[in-house]
Amino acid sequence: MIRYCLLLFCLIITASYSYGGETQRVALAPPHGMTRADVVYLKPDKRPKGFLVLCPGYNGDGAYLIGKKEWQKFANENGLILVGLSFASDVEKLHDGTGYYYPEHGSGKALIKTLKKMHNEDLPIYMYGFSGGAHFTSRFAEWAPRKVNAFAAYSAGWWTKPSKKRKNMPPGIIACGSKDERLGASYSYFLDGRALDRPWLWVELPDIGHKEYAPLDDFVRAFFSSVMHPNSKSVWIDILTGEQKRGSFAMDAKSVTGYIPDGSLVGKWKELCGAK
């Protein structure tokens, strides 16, 4: 019984030091459909104002993501607890809809429970996931939209169609490389979201295959920062031409418009996407 309780929740302190002190790992007993339910995190120097959850590819350990200085600097400057997801499931569970990609089956509650252990306040979540991490990120934002202030989902292999029942959804980035075989599925998901008036932005990375991409990381940080610290009007752009459009156009031409929380990011989006 004692051994079971220890497995249920165990906190491991590692020897890695960074901006917020020691890296910490929380290991929960994996819910049904999961083989690992760990989270690694670093706290900022100041009072936390939110969580920044980084989600690696299929069954990856997010420790390497929160070890990146760029993410540490961004999180610390913005008072965010930097979180690296380290969830895992057998591959058949991911394909049959019961693994950690699907938060409604236990992984969502596991993350929320862990965040509460880190800081017992209901703070906003900013979430960024690549590949397998995009699977979890997109579905978590759909499953718990009131907890997510903004998200970015980059190159999932398949997506769950967004629900018409969800309202007041957070802004998001849906991204994929032009040489990634996941491009069609990712773009279709973006279109499904825009058809439901989701404030989403499409990012297609020219000549990029299925890999992590630092320039996209930079843009995601700028996008999140604009949501956290609004100092300009949000804009809608034509994702084919890069032209800024009025709100009425965004309503009438949903399939070709994308949302940007700060007009100053339009140039960065064009550069990232290779738009003229």
Residues in the chain, pLDDT under 70: 1-21, 246-247, 249-250, 276
pLDDT tens digits, one per residue of 251-272: 777 889 999 999 999 999 999 9
> What pTM was estimated for this model as a whole?
0.91
**3-state helix/strand/coil string of 29-71:** CCCCCCCEEEEEEECCCCCCCEEEEEECCCCCCCHHHHCCHHH
- Which is nearest to 52 in space by CA: 121, 155, 128? 128
Residues whose CB is less than 8 angstroms from the CB of residue 248 and which lie 6 or more positions away in sequence, other chains included: none
Cα gap 175→173, rounded to integer Å: 6
**What is the per-residue pLDDT across 131-169, written as a single tens digit (0 to 9) for each?**
999 999 999 999 999 999 999 999 999 999 999 988 889
